[in-house]
Amino acid sequence: MVALTSWWQSAVVYQIYPWSFQDSNGDGIGDIPGIIERLDYLNDGTAASLGVDAIWLSPLYPSPMVDFGYDVAEFCDIDPRFGTLGDFDRLVQESHRRGIRVIMDLVLNHTSDRHPWFQEARSSRSAAKRDWYYWADGKAFGRRPNNWNARFGGSSWAWDSPSRQYYLHSFLKEQPDLNWHNPAVRRAMWGVVRFWLDRGVDGFRLDAINWLGKDSRWPNNPFRPGLRGYTRQTHRYDRDQPMGHEVLRELRTLSGNYPEVVLIGEASADTPGGPVAFYGNGTDELHMLFDFRLLKSPWQADRFGQLLAADQQRIPEGGWPTIVFSNHDQSRHIDRYGKGGHAERRARTTAVLLLTLRGTPFLYYGEELGMKNTRLRYRDLRDPYTKRFWPFRIGRDPARTPMQWDESVHAGFTRGTPWLPVASNYRDLNAAQESQNHSSLLSLYRRLIRLRKVYPALSEGAYRHITTAPSDCLVFLRQQPSPSDTDPDILVAVNFSADARTVTLSDFTKVGTVQLSTLTGAGSARPWHPAQFHLEPDEAIVVALPNGEAGR
Ligand code: NOJ
């Protein structure tokens, strides 16, 4: 086992959705000065704070906000709703002062249709930047260039009346795709990357990387009979073409000129060959990939076990896993996993998984409090994707409501009118209250993050699935890296079922100590015996064991 070499392998990352974290000027929208005010909550260097090592900021760029910042109208500036470049520099400085690294969101696949590049490109067929985007003629009888459909519904082609051609958009029609075949686009975007790295950012979360490579001969995608929406075709030609990898290799080379930059890709769960494809050979594409297959899995110990075992084997050497259960595109996991079960108990169990599995954990703001999907009325909705599929799909707005800081009006998020309603449970569920309560979910997250710092096995250790556990319990060992040290191994046992379970690990002989149980949020001084132990419904325990136990 090789000791970890990079900060991001042992880091805990916290995703901030800037719209909803903290408003400082009363306009009802979160902003950068607001984030700075709250940095101590994230890490003030004491056990009273969460203790995260990095923040990932969803887009802050100037944008018409049709897709809430993922439609970028200028890559080298800050949207005035969020502040100024000066505020951003202060955020980087203040974060670094607290030992918090800063990860920017970077949208490579598309821009806003308001971006000056696209405005110029659409001005005429002979415009200088015309081929910075993808244009195609329609087929006979007014038919679109091909059958590709966009991730957010409808065709991927939008008609541009003045120039009488279609342009390609893999997401909303307000998000035209950049033509990465064009070297001028690459040069411009690499300029953007340098701009932010020179300002001191520590890495990028790369949006929608599956879409970078597409077949610009525009062949039709094959149909998948019987399916509807985005899945009614196999996305063979509109995504995942080799050029995407070429672009990521260029980016990796460029970022290698800066010390310790991390590149994290957002890759779809249905990437051919799995998201691991974007690690390249382990050293030439991305350092980390979000893998949403765990997030999308039903709450079943054997499903989780299978996915984890498969991934550990497939990530090439040099690549590193991520663990993620919630983000700004997903229903919050407390509700997703809580369906048909005890949501609060499962949220605690999930926290243990997030912070003890092998890989870098990504928390989504508010999950540490147990914030739920907020019930919204149609007239409250802001996100076009949520509106389009409402009420048949939950969409994204319910998971984007303001952070619940305290009991004061609008949960301490704003003194104005919040851009999305604050969840009505904020008086009973907020950071201020949970900070005072030792058995709260927030206290559990804090304690788990501290355990990761105390026990190298949790950040560095190999993952070993223990096969002798009952099928509805997931038991695994994190083996500390150098057996000559006295640091313990960590055994984690998670009961996925709503019934109590007795577990026998006959291959283990040594007595351990429970560092944390989700029932109490604390450890226990009593010796723990592997020969037979008990897990309450939805309980997870974290046990320190003398190292060197084999297990099966
Ligand atoms: C993925 C982002 O996470 C999502 O919020 C966005 O709408 C799409 N990519 C398009 O940029």
The CB of 290 under 6 Å from ligand 1? The reply is no
Taken in order 278, 283, 287, 291, the sign of the CA dihedral is: positive
- pLDDT of 340 reads 85
Q: For position 410, what pLDDT does the model report? A: 98
**108 close to ligand 1 (CB < 6 Angstrom):** no
> Quick check: is 94 catalytic?
no
In this structure, are residues 250 and 190 in contact, taking their beta carbons and an 8 Å threshold?
yes
Sign of the Cα pseudo-torsion (317, 15, 478, 259, in order): positive
- Strand 165-168: give its sheet, edge to edge: 135-136, 165-168, 157-160
pLDDT of residue 313: 66
Instruction: Quote the pTM value.
Output: 0.98
107 lines ligand 1 (CB under 6 A): yes
| C-alpha 70 – ligand 1 centre gap (Å) | 6
- In the chain, which residues have pLDDT < 50? 1
pLDDT at 172: 98
Helices (H), 51-122: 85-97, 116-121
Q: How far is CA 358 from CA 262, 490, 492, in A?
A: 18, 12, 12
Separation in Å, CA 148 to CA 134, 151, 229, 230, 261: 13, 10, 11, 9, 35
Q: 121 CB under 6 A from ligand 1? A: no
Residues 6+ apart with CB under 8 A from 396: 328, 329, 330, 383, 385, 386
Nearest protein CA to atom 6 of ligand 1, as residue? 70
Alpha helices for 140-292 (secondary structure H): 183-198, 242-255
Residue 120 φ then ψ, to 5°: -65, -45
> What is the model's pLDDT at position 62?
98
- Catalytic-residue membership of 407: no
